């Protein structure tokens, strides 16, 4: 597709195509009623922060009726709001206010499993072995003479066996916590129920759905043992490990029929409603299968998030991503952090180094064609918090325990700091003690208020980068060109932009051209005075820094 002039309005593209979407982890964004847990009215009140940041959409993690054993990813009623988070009217209000501000709203759909408190699972337990009620889930008899061994050798992603035995002796499958029984997607009522759920939220005006565990819905029908499955995976949140393994529980071909059906449902509605897959697949090619023309619109590109800090590995992911998505005519997405992984400044080394690298990786990502996903708090430069064991609540931690050596995911889910010098930093009207996870005492310097108008702050950097993206990158065509790695330096062209990322220890001379935005301060090159004219000739790009330079079009 031909590049569009910068500043031109694209009317030929659906809104999500180049959108920057901000992930709101509902428990930790903003608390309106002082109970220490974020809620829908809290989000509505803080929507101007997202408008001022310059994102296009928000994705809100599950706020439906739930006992909260996996913080909402255990849904007891898909068409109601948990009182912890508000009411259906609050959801309507949020959607309406977001739309007024020009923000799209994506909600989370959790189809792989229900909560054990869902009416279907309660009925299944009550009805007993062989009943139609049990057929909506994956109940099986156990192995061994008395059936006391699990039906197969699968592990829960959160640690321990993927099966739990009920008092009458049968076992049910749960790829996650025992409070999250897996549905049997071969049962027709399951598909019918989720179609109604989609329509319920589409009718209320949502613009899209993030599909939780999209690669998990169908299992190999025999529920056979996993080859090599005797050993427990090393990582408690094992989906994040991407080594090629035998996986009869993930990424089965039949799962794609579900998304074809959902695509048809969305196409009955106006306004480019969309689906984005959370699919921890094993290869870029298997990721691309979820975004074939008649399936989902996007899939999270976890390869980008998993790439180590190196110019070569970033280049490899960029190349691999384009090859994969172009093979099915789809467009790429990019993501560096979410509520399941260690925040990217911490992954890249923590402290000033980690933050500099995180900003550089973010700026590089925002130059790429396609859509980018940001996770709440990354615009504040927040790091992973070392949550004290007594405050940890993640079922991945509770199931795996201290011997796993992994603290779980609570450290990326700490309530946001908005203003003030001490916890709860404006998170809500409650006390610091009320916050569902305590905030660190050092966060006073990270609040939105403290960073606003400070040109050196990460918040102002994000605002500037998103502004520059709207002007330049979002209208600079669909491709990158001249992608190259020289030593520790990654370069690519995107329309009028030359993007340079310095992952190495040496200062790199900047090419001539107007510097549009940089992730850190540029430095004078040895022997030349700092250049204040904006030509860039005498300036260098320091280590752990990225820059967008406006250059003449390449021939």
Residues that bind ligand GLC in the complex, under the rule CB under 6 A: 70, 73, 110, 176, 212-213, 278, 339-340
Which residue in the list 74, 90, 133, 212 is annotated as catalytic?
Answer: 212
487, HSE (Cβ side, Cα atoms, 13 Å): 10
CB closer to ligand GLC out of 63 and 176: 176
Nearest residue (CB) to ligand GLC, 54 versus 408:
408
Kindly report the three-state secondary structure assignment for every residue of 155-197. Answer: ECCCCCECEEECCCCCEEECCCCCCCCEECCCCHHHHHHHHHH
Smaller CB separation from ligand GLC, 215 or 446: 215
| Whether residue 270 lies in the annotated active site | no
In 443-488, where do the E strands start and end?
481-486
Query: Among residues 213 and 368, whose Cβ is nearest to ligand GLC?
Result: 213
- The single-letter DSSP state of residue 313 is H
Which of 12, 203, 230, 268 is catalytic? The answer is 268
Rounded to a whole number of angstroms, the minimum distance from the CB of residue 139 to ligand GLC is: 20
Residue 409 CB, shortest distance to ligand GLC, in Å, is: 7
- Least distance between ligand GLC and beta carbon 488 (Å): 33
Minimum distance from residue 74 beta carbon to ligand GLC (Å):
7
CB of 279 to ligand GLC, least distance (A): 10
Preceding amide of 102 cis, omega within 30: no
SS (H, E, C) 222-283: CCCCCCCCCCCCCCCCHHHCCCCCCCCCCCCCCHHHHHHHHHHHHHCCCCCCEEEECCCCCC
- The conformation of residue 510, written as its DSSP 8-state character, comes to P
C-beta nearest to ligand GLC: residue: 73
Question: Shortest distance, CB of residue 106 to ligand GLC, whole angstroms?
Answer: 14
- Provide the residue count of the chain: 555
Nearer to ligand GLC, 202 or 213 (CB): 213
Task: Name residue, tokens 């130059």.
Answer: 367
**CB-CB neighbours of 456 under 10 Å:** 9
The terminus-to-terminus CA distance of the chain in angstroms comes to 16
Is 39 catalytic? The answer is: no
Packed helices 458-471 and 351-367: angle between N→C axes, nearest 10 degrees: 10
For ligand GLC, the closer of residues 245 and 479 by Cβ is 245
**Which sequence positions are flagged as catalytic?**
212, 268
């Amino acid at each position: 597709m031909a590049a569009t002039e910068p500043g031109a309005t694209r009317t030929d593209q659906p809104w999500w195509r180049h959108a920057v979407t901000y992930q709101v982890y509902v428990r930790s964004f903003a608390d309106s009623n002082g109970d220490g847990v974020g809620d829908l009215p809290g989000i509505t009140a803080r929507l101007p922060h997202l408008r001022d940041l310059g994102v296009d959409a928000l994705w809100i993690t599950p706020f439906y009726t739930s006992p909260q054993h996996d913080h909402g990813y255990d849904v007891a009623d898909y068409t109601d709001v948990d009182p912890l988070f508000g009411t259906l009217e609050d959801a309507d209000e949020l959607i309406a206010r977001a739309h007024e501000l020009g923000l799209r709203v994506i909600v989370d759909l959790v189809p792989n499993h229900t909560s054990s408190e869902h009416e279907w699972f309660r009925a299944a337990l009550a009805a007993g072995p062989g009943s139609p009620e049990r057929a909506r889930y994956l109940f099986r008899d156990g192995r061994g003479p008395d059936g006391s061994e699990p039906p197969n050798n699968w592990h829960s992603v959160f640690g321990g066996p993927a099966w739990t035995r009920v008092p009458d002796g049968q076992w049910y499958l749960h790829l996650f916590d025992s409070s999250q029984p897996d549905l049997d997607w071969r049962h027709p009522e399951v598909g019918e129920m989720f179609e109604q759920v989609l329509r319920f939220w589409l009718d209320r005006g949502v613009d899209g759905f993030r599909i939780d565990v999209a690669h998990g819905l169908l299992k190999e029908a025999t529920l056979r043992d996993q080859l090599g499955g005797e050993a427990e995976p090393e990582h408690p949140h094992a989906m994040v490990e991407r080594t090629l393994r035998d996986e009869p529980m993930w990424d089965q071909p039949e799962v794609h029929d579900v998304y074809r059906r959902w695509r048809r449902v969305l196409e009955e509605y106006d306004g480019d409603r969309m689906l984005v897959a959370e699919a921890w697949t094993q290869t870029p090619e298997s990721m691309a299968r979820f975004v074939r023309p008649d399936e989902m619109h996007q899939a999270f590109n976890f390869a980008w998030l998993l790439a180590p800090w190196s110019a070569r590995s970033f280049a490899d992911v960029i190349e691999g991503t384009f090859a994969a998505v172009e093979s099915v005519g789809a467009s790429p997405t990019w993501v560096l952090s979410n509520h399941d992984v260690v925040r990217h400044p911490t992954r890249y080394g923590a402290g000033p180094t980690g933050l500099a690298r995180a900003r550089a990786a973010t700026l590089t990502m925002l130059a790429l064609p396609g859509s980018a996903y940001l996770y709440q708090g990354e615009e504040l430069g927040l790091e992973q918090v070392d949550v004290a064991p007594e405050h940890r609540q993640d079922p991945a931690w509770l199931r795996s325990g201290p011997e796993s050596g992994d603290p779980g995911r609570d450290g990326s889910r700490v309530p946001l700091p908005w203003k003030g010098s001490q916890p709860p930093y404006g998170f809500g009207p409650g006390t610091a003690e009320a916050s569902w996870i305590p905030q660190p005492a050092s966060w006073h310097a990270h609040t939105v208020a403290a960073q606003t108008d400070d040109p050196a702050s990460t918040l102002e950097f994000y605002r500037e980068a998103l502004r520059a993206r709207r002007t330049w990158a979002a209208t600079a065509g669909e491709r990158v060109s001249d992608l190259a790695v020289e030593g520790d330096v990654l370069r690519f062209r995107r329309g009028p932009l030359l993007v340079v990322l310095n992952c190495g220890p040496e200062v790199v001379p900047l090419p001539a051209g107007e510097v549009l935005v940089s992730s850190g301060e540029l430095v004078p090159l040895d022997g030349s005075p700092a250049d204040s004219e904006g030509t860039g000739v005498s300036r260098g790009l320091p280590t752990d820094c990225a820059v967008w330079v406006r250059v003449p079009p390449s021939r």
